[in-house]
Amino acid sequence: MAVAIAVRVRFFARLRELAGVETETLQIAPNSSLADAYDALRARHSSLPARDGVRGAVNQEFAGWSERVSEGDELAFIPPVSGGRR
């Protein structure tokens, strides 16, 4: 059994600026959730905001924080977006 799996992480908009990178590879324990992955990223990049202000996606589909991730998955983290016209 694997002791770690590798996932590809993409940061969007302000999160990219806060992390200082657009993409990175993250090694996490097998059977980790999207929340576990984001928490590991916050340990690396202390300027990232808490989860309540972020949306996560697994393989280009929005996912809940309890979603399990697998080897080779692409995770994306997106801050709240505002704007547009009134």
Type of residue at 10 = R
What's the pLDDT score for residue 62? 96
Is residue 26 within 8 A of residue 5, CB to CB? The reply is: no
Q: Encode 15-40: b = buried (16+ Cβ within 10 Å), e = exposed.
A: bbeebeeeeeebebeeebbbebbbbb
Smallest CA-to-CA distance from 12 within 1, 23, 2, 4 is with: 23
For residues 15 and 85, the model is more confident at 15
Name which residue leads in pLDDT, 44 or 84. Answer: 44
Q: Could you state, in order of their start, the residue ranges of all structural domains in the chain?
A: 17-78
Confidence of residue 82 (pLDDT cuts 50, 70, 90): low
User: CA triplet 80, 32, 27: central angle to 5 degrees?
Assistant: 90
pLDDT, one tens digit per residue, over 7-61 is 999 999 999 999 999 999 999 999 999 999 999 999 999 999 999 989 999 999 9
**Predicted local distance difference test score (pLDDT) of residue 12:** 96
* Architecture of the domain made up of 17-78: Roll (3.10)
Q: 57 to each of 5, 33, 54, 62, 85, how far by Cα in Å?
A: 17, 11, 10, 4, 26
User: According to the model, what pLDDT value does residue 81 have?
Assistant: 72
